[in-house]
Amino acid sequence: MNPDLPDALIEQPVVLIVDDVPDNVSLLHDAMEQAGYTVLVALDGASALQRAAEALPDVILLDARMPGMDGFEVARRLKADAETSHIPIIFMTGLTETEHIEAALAAGGVDYVTKPVKPREVIARMRVHLNAARAQRQARNALDAFGYASITVRLADGKLMWQTPLARELLMRYFGTSAPETPEKVLLWIRQSVQRLGDAVNATNFEPSRLVIDNADRRLSFRLHQQTGDSDAGGDWLIVMRESNDTTILESMSSQFGLTAREAEVLYWVVKGKINRDIGDILGTSPATVKKHLERIHAKMGVETRTAAAAMALNRIKQLHPQFEG
């Protein structure tokens, strides 16, 4: 929701009614207000796009047939814009032929009602989609709160359709891009992962590989979470992202195995496959000192070799930081 809107618009669901017939608008407007909704109105397609971009309503009731820009085109433009693509659109139409219904859904509608509209039916349909949208928004916000960012990418054209605030920040930092552009490397990985998923014999147990992008001592991982849109042309895919850094991994190893900070650093580079001389160069100490640290590490972990220590540490790190690449 737009933070610049008055409190009254934030406290209750906002409905945008789009219809070129004032009598139709008046009927729905009164019914929606009585039901406790904040109602916005647009009498043509251009005004609808402007109102939607400014107010970011919770749901849009959209007339399919309007002069000039019709409802189908309005819906397509709303869905093509990352800022408005998440808004549920319910079409209002007198066209009941299958091809028109299919056109409404293909344009991005989640539902439709036939004219003359019955306000109680419209409100009942709206509540279903508002509840679903609210639950999805809460789930995404919860991901952000726990450090997991998420994006939705439309596979048909590769557009980034939705992103949490944290995802926007991470994509800009790592790739210098913003919605609706999906970073090329991320889009290629998504398409390859979806292809492998489609080719898998048992899709239920299939786990696509993660994409990991390094940036100095930080790394950003991407995980294919679930399909959220229509399966035609690949659908929309929800991607979960998580940033980690060497500090969090070192702290994990230290707490898990009772190591000092320097011992955790030595073990970290052992896991990375470095020999004592290389570790000494990295940490600014001698290979002999690294060897002494390793002896204490082995004793604390209850192992006899660096290979066993590395294997145990890698297994534990991947449990706590699945995006880590040893």
Q: Tell me the per-residue pLDDT of 156-181, one tens digit each, with 9 for 90 and over.
A: 888 888 888 888 899 999 999 888 88
Report whether pLDDT(5) > 50. no
- Domain 147-245 -> CATH class: alpha beta
Lowest-confidence segment of 121-125, 195-199, 321-325 by average pLDDT: 321-325
User: What's the confidence (pLDDT) of residue 6?
Assistant: 43
The confidence band for 10, taking pLDDT boundaries of 50, 70 and 90, is very low
User: What's the confidence (pLDDT) of residue 207?
Assistant: 65
User: What's the confidence (pLDDT) of residue 202?
Assistant: 57
The confidence band for 233, taking pLDDT boundaries of 50, 70 and 90, is low
The confidence band for 8, taking pLDDT boundaries of 50, 70 and 90, is very low
Q: Tell me the per-residue pLDDT of 96-124, one tens digit each, with 9 for 90 and over.
A: 667 778 888 888 888 888 888 899 999 99
HEC secondary structure over the chain: CCCCCCHHHHHCCEEEEECCCHHHHHHHHHHHHHCCCEEEEECCHHHHHHHHHHHCCCEEEEECCCCCCCHHHHHHHHHHCCCCCCCCEEEEECCCCHHHHHHHHHCCCCEEEECCCCHHHHHHHHHHHHHHHHHHHHHHHHHHHCCEEEEEEECCCCEEEEECHHHHHHHHHHHCCCCCCCCHHHHHHHHHHHHHHHHCCCHHHCCCCCEEEEECCEEEEEEEEEECCCCHHHCEEEEEEEEEEHHHHHHHHHHHHCCCHHHHHHHHHHHCCCCHHHHHHHHCCCHHHHHHHHHHHHHHHCCCCHHHHHHHHHHHHHHHCCCCCC
User: What's the confidence (pLDDT) of residue 232?
Assistant: 54
- Domain 258-320 -> CATH class: mainly alpha
Q: Tell me the per-residue pLDDT of 131-163, one tens digit each, with 9 for 90 and over.
A: 877 776 776 666 666 667 888 898 888 888 888
User: What's the confidence (pLDDT) of residue 3?
Assistant: 42
Q: Which CATH architecture has domain 7-139?
A: 3-Layer(aba) Sandwich (3.40)
Q: Where are the domains of the chain?
A: 7-139, 147-245, 258-320
